[in-house]
Amino acid sequence: MNPSLARRLAAEGVGTALLLATVIGSGIMGERLSGGNVAIALLANAVATGCGLAVLVAIFAPVSGAHFNPLVSIALASRGRMQWREAFAFVLVQFLAAVCGVIAAHLMFGEPMLSWGSKARAGPAQAWSEFVATFGLLVVVWACIERKLSAAPALIGAYICAAYWFTSSTSFANPAVAVARCLSDTFAGIRPADVPAFAAAQSLGAAAATIFSAWLWLPFRNPG
């Protein structure tokens, strides 16, 4: 039960593409139907993303681990849980698949295949939001890995559903997602100019969570 690298990359690719199709597609649907009430649009967007992400993690985790996020692959490699060479392949596929997912969503709603995002998401409050969101996500991911939690898919989906609401940035928490969403001039879009700060804040949050988790779970790995 050691799937080939091709199968693992396919799982990462199909999973990441369907994740972005869910994020972008449910955002468009929410905006079109909600008659200007942004809270209803975001509620639909958050519920759809949380449900979709949980499902994708559940079905693809046995093949590839279901990272769908460059920071997860890099965090695992940094702690020796994954070879760096494979992590780079994962990251490359995640970025490409995320863009494919955006295209798939745009075609489902009759939008142009790709378009530059125009929604401003900038400033220290948003950067701090992305730091907190990604710190929390990686704390959850590391707990799932260290304790081999069978509820991991539901936990990751529920976390993102909550994080859409408790951050002013709506919690991208994923550089591949941020880059892909800057190619969509829709509800879930972001200006390209705002992506670097998001990615930097996300990387710092992931690093902090990885250091904290390494310390927290140390006695569980070496009991006695």
Residue ranges in 11-30 that form contacts with a second copy under rule CB under 8 A: 11, 14, 18, 21-22, 24-26, 29-30
When asked if residue 80 is in the footprint of a second copy (CB under 8 A), the reply is: no
* Least spacing, CB of residue 70 vs a second copy, in Å: 22
**What mask, x for binding a second copy by CB under 8 A, covers residues 150 to 189?**
-x-xxx-xxx-xxxxxxxxx--------------------
* Least spacing, CB of residue 144 vs a second copy, in Å: 7
Nearest to 9 by CA among 96, 80, 99: 96
Contact 169, 62 (CB under 8 A): no
Pick 38 or 84: Cβ nearer a second copy: 38
Contact 74, 204 (CB under 8 A): no
Q: How many CB atoms lie within 10 A of CB 38?
A: 12
Which region, judged by CB under 8 A, interacts with a second copy, from 82-90, 92-100, 114-122, 127-135?
127-135
Q: Which residues contact 21 (CB under 8 A, 6 or more apart)?
A: 101, 102, 104, 105, 108
Among 55, 100, 122, 214, binds a second copy (CB under 8 A): 55
Among 79, 81, 85, 108, binds a second copy (CB under 8 A): 108
When asked if residue 132 is in the footprint of a second copy (CB under 8 A), the reply is: yes
Give how many residues touch a second copy by CB under 8 A.
84
Residue 187 per-residue DSSP state:
T
Instruction: Give CA separation, 120 vs 86, 108, 168, 210, in Å.
Output: 34, 25, 12, 29
- Separation of alpha carbons 170 and 168, rounded Å: 6
Pick 77 or 105: Cβ nearer a second copy: 105
Question: Which residues in 188-217 contact a second copy (CB under 8 A)?
Answer: 212, 215-216
Which region, judged by CB under 8 A, interacts with a second copy, from 4-12, 68-76, 91-99, 112-120?
4-12
Measured in degrees and rounded to the nearest 5, phi and psi for residue 9 equal -70, -35
**What mask, x for binding a second copy by CB under 8 A, covers residues 25 to 54?**
xx--xx--xxxxxxxxxxxxxxxxxxxx-x
- Separation of alpha carbons 201 and 167, rounded Å: 13
Which region, judged by CB under 8 A, interacts with a second copy, from 60-68, 69-77, 79-87, 92-100?
60-68
Pick 107 or 193: Cβ nearer a second copy: 107
16 burial type by CB count under 10 A (0-12 exposed, 13-18 middle, 19+ buried): buried
